[in-house]
Amino acid sequence: MNFLKLFKRQIQVARVFGIPVRIDYRWFLIFALSAWVIAESFEQGTIKTQRVQVGALTAWVAGIATTFGLFLSIFGHELSHALVASAEGIESEEIVLHPFGGLTRLKREPDNPRAEFRIAIAGPSASFLIGLVALVGFYAASLLNLRTLAAALSIVGFWNFVIAASNLLPGYPLDGGRVLRAYLWHFFLFDAARAVTGGGRRRGRGLRTVGEAMTAPVVVEPDTLVSHFVDNVLSVHRQEAVAVARARRLHGILTLSDLKQLPRESWHRTRVSEVMRPVASDLFVDPSTPLARAEKLMSENGAGALAVINAAGELVGFLLRGSLKRRVKVKA
């Protein structure tokens, strides 16, 4: 168990433009596997772009160098996000390289759709340019009969094109999903963009009970890392509190006000269960509860939110004090 926890930890390996660059220990395992697979391809002569077959030592050097080039490409992808964000006046908290990708954690969200689009598109654009440069290098090395170098560049170029294309798929948390959100934000206001990506809210008239006013809950599991919540949940669902549950059983409520008390450097090693407000009688109601009662509870419980639990003890809805006020105003 301790061995597994070790491989989930992260270490800082550099600081670029003042931004900490971290990797987790699993990165070393994937790096070694990748270098071995590529070295075998060089030694066996199975790389399709070049008829090259080299000795074991040269194969390993080529495998390590090619793998290092691939991981540098991923870093370049993430660094481009950070640099464009900086140009938009947004600082980056850190860059994290995972075994199969990376992420750039920004200190705040973009203020407008233009900034959102530029930051999102920067990563795929960088990967495409790196792939293009590698492709030009591949042709140059081929003309000079540097077949081992040409084969390595062909691998780096191919995978950068794959990274660029896959990141443009229109789904969160991929860059393509953020590009889509920027488009919707620009043409239909941010509420419309949030609705399409799962954050829309049902409006009604004459709301009297919690069951009539509640929305579908945004749920995060207790064992989720805070960093994962911030990067993959909060980036899509911008709200002050979310339900913490597993298998529809409520464990507590996580509020942004409580989350702000946790140092950012601890996000990647802290579980949601360590930060949430544990389930208590003032954090949930049943669907038949009058709205007046629910509003009073939300104003007193410190969370500004309530989970809605049915008779079977299952989480069926969620209420946020701020959203309820906006809906009452719209109704009036």
Catalytic residues: 78
The sheet with strand 249-255 has its strands ordered as: 219-220, 241-246, 249-255, 277-278
Task: Look up residue 63 and give its two tokens.
Answer: 């495998």
Alpha-carbon span 80 to 89, nearest angstrom: 14
- H/E run at residue 294: helix 291-300
Strand 219-220 versus strand 241-246 pairing type: parallel
**Residue 171 near residue 177, CB atoms below 8 Å:** yes
The DSSP bridge partners found for residue 319 are: 306
Task: Look up residue 82 and give its two tokens.
Answer: 């950070």
Alpha-carbon span 80 to 112, nearest angstrom: 19
Phi, psi of 289 (to 5 degrees): -60, 135
Alpha-carbon span 82 to 226, nearest angstrom: 21
